[in-house]
Amino acid sequence: MTRHLLQVFRRYNWKDNILAYALLLPSLIFLVIFTFYPMIKVLDLSFYESVMNERRFAGLELYGHVLRDEVFLKVLRNNMLLALVTVPVSILLALYMAVWVNGKLRGRSLIRAAFFYPTLIPMIAIANIWLFIYTPDYGLLDKFLGLFGIEGPNWLGDPAWVLVSMMGMLIWKESGYFMIFFLAGLQVLPKEIYQAAELDGAGPLRKFRTITLPLVMPTTLFVLIIATTNSFKLVDHLYIMTKGGPNNASNLLLYHIYETAFSFWDMGKASVLTVILLVILLVISVFYYGYLDKRIHY
């Protein structure tokens, strides 16, 4: 064992080792303080209930409360539903946009810009604009539907519609971002294969299904991960548009943490909720690094 270790040590150049660690140190300091330490700290806090400024050890008791809490279950369900709809839809839309924007098109850079700009602007700004778009009767959406004699529902006020409305907005915001990744992926595809396929008389649909789709799979998997984690991260719009309502119908996990921690000052519960969100994200990343990484070559 020791001999093996010694061999490992000798293989490394000590000057390189010291230099490498010196170069990594600045990043490492901030990573430890604001990512790793808080993760451990919040796990610790989640075992304590705070009552009137006093900490009481509660063990797993708070987890029991949270997991049986109807509001939490509703929020979790909302978030899962949001991910299940927005992730595949925005990825498919992004792929569609990328394939065409990559080819010869009139006004290509203008079209690219139209797809990409929503990604760039703050969620708060988007929420301000879409709040007005979704306003009943006067809003842009209802005015448009009015042209066809359709009367829209109360987009943000109806519990049955609010999450759907949010999904529409998020797909609009995110698709352009994913399009850029697909565009990058499409650039490296070998042109010869397409030329050969064309000689064989393959149509655009067959070329897409048999060549493009398999070759952009690594990009798709990468985008899948970003999209999934984003669906747990994008919550700023709730502050402007619904505050999670009506009756928590649009509430999401991170916003629920924000309310629990900074409106109700329930430290124990906020910690438990954060730990649960971390577990969800870590499961996704383990899936990524453990399963998908083998299929992606950096």
What dihedral do alpha carbons 249, 250, 253, 258 form, nearest 10°?
A: -110
Return the residues of window 23-42 that contact other proteins according to CB under 8 A. Answer: 23-24, 26-31, 33-39, 41-42
Return the residues of window 269-288 that contact other proteins according to CB under 8 A. Answer: 270-271, 274, 277-278, 281-282, 284-285, 288
The rounded distance, in Å, linking the Cα atoms of 116 and 173 is 8
Q: With binding defined as CB under 8 A, does residue 265 bind other proteins?
A: no
* DSSP-assigned letters across all residues of 103-143: S--TTHHHHHHHHHHHHHS-HHHHHHHHHHHTSTTTSHHHH
Q: What counts of helices (H) and strands (E) characterise the chain?
A: 16, 2
Applying CB under 8 A, among 51, 60, 124, 196 the residue interacting with other proteins is 124
Across the chain, where does the E strand assignment appear? 48-51, 54-57
User: Per CB under 8 A, which region of 158-166, 192-200, 244-252, 257-265 contacts other proteins?
Assistant: 257-265
The rounded distance, in Å, linking the Cα atoms of 217 and 56 is 50
Return the residues of window 86-115 that contact other proteins according to CB under 8 A. Answer: 97, 100-101, 105-107, 109-115
Residue 84 or 114 with smaller CB distance to other proteins: 114
Return the residues of window 207-236 that contact other proteins according to CB under 8 A. Answer: 218-219, 222, 225, 229, 232-233, 235-236
Residue 129 or 211 with smaller CB distance to other proteins: 129
Q: How many residues belong to the site for other proteins (CB under 8 A)?
A: 100
**SS3 for 54?**
strand
Applying CB under 8 A, among 63, 161, 194, 239 the residue interacting with other proteins is 239
In contact, 97 and 174? CB cutoff 8 Å: no
**Cα separations in angstroms, 49 against 44, 255, 257:** 11, 21, 16
Q: With binding defined as CB under 8 A, does residue 60 bind other proteins?
A: no
The rounded distance, in Å, linking the Cα atoms of 184 and 201 is 27
Residue 80 or 281 with smaller CB distance to other proteins: 281
Q: Which residues pair with 51 in a beta bridge?
A: 54
The rounded distance, in Å, linking the Cα atoms of 54 and 59 is 15
CB of 196 to other proteins, least distance (A): 22
Q: With binding defined as CB under 8 A, does residue 63 bind other proteins?
A: no
Return the residues of window 170-209 that contact other proteins according to CB under 8 A. Answer: 172, 176, 180-181, 183-185, 187-188
Q: With binding defined as CB under 8 A, does residue 50 bind other proteins?
A: no
